[in-house]
Amino acid sequence: MIKLEHVKKSFGRLEVLHDVSLSIDDGSVVVILGPSGSGKTTLLRSINFLEKADYGTLEIGGKTVDLHSAKKKEILDIRKRTAMVFQNYGLFANKTVLQNITEGLIVARNVPKEKAEERARLELRKVGLSDKENYYPSQLSGGQQQRVGIARAVALDSEVILFDEPTSALDPELVGETLSLIKQVAREGHTMIVVTHEMSFAEDVADKVVFMDGGFVVEEGKPGDIFYSPKEERTKKFLSRILPPSDYVI
């Protein structure tokens, strides 16, 4: 179980997260939806300390840390328990595909190089990029780079994988193949928190959908309940703008 409790975050005078609490069951997929500026990405980045929250706690793997005052050792421990897939791929430009995947295993997990490369090649086979292990990111398409990012996250064997709008930087024709890959990762039983605007993906894969707006968790529940019988007016208004009228039922 992963628990976030009473998370708050401001950038100057702008309060981005207002007392957000959330729980994620082991092995489940949670999709976070909401308009731009609703705090989705900030919440995700606060989980692994890419952003430092002003207040709140995180419990993961039976360990609870204060998101504001966590010590360096605690932060490193949380980062070992999490993996992140970024919307802009987040690959090291000066490292090959293989090195991009092995870096975290060798440096952060102390995995011997030979074992790290063996695991990296296994994940590259899964994402269909075995023939690209010696390529650099600049030699890959956006979709291929994102597949490397996903392979890197899965290879770390983290307790939770965080996806920050993983298809937003892709050309439309590449979105489908990336979502299919993420679905495959979900079927392997990984705990996942996914920030996305892809409604069909959320409906197909999520165990729970969380709708955020204005820094608040407005509503959460099973995909069918959120999409087709939302309780909150803010949720209804958001969905009415993005779902086809024939699909939207109140």
Each residue's pLDDT tens digit, 73-107: 999 999 999 999 998 888 999 999 999 999 999 99
In contact, 61 and 109? CB cutoff 8 Å: no
Residue 164 lies in a domain: yes
Residue 250 lies in a domain: no
Q: How many CB atoms lie within 10 A of CB 172?
A: 7
Report pLDDT for 30. 96
Residue 213 lies in a domain: yes
159: domain range? 2-241
Phi, psi of 189 (to 5 degrees): 90, 15
Residue 246 lies in a domain: no
Residue 249 lies in a domain: no
State pTM to two decimals.
0.91
* The pair of three-digit structure tokens given for residue 240, joined into one six-digit string: 């009415």
* The pair of three-digit structure tokens given for residue 130, joined into one six-digit string: 């075995």
Report pLDDT for 154. 94
**Pick from 46, 62, 64: which is nearest to 54 by CA?**
46
Helix (H, G, I), strand (E, B) or coil at 6: strand
Residue 132 lies in a domain: yes
**Pick from 67, 63, 18, 66: which is nearest to 39 by CA?**
18
Report pLDDT for 247. 54
Report pLDDT for 61. 83
Residue 247 lies in a domain: no
Number of domains in the chain: 1
Residue-averaged pLDDT of the chain: 92
Residue ranges, the chain, pLDDT below 70: 243-250
- The CATH number of the domain holding residue 237 is 3.40.50.300
Residue 25 lies in a domain: yes
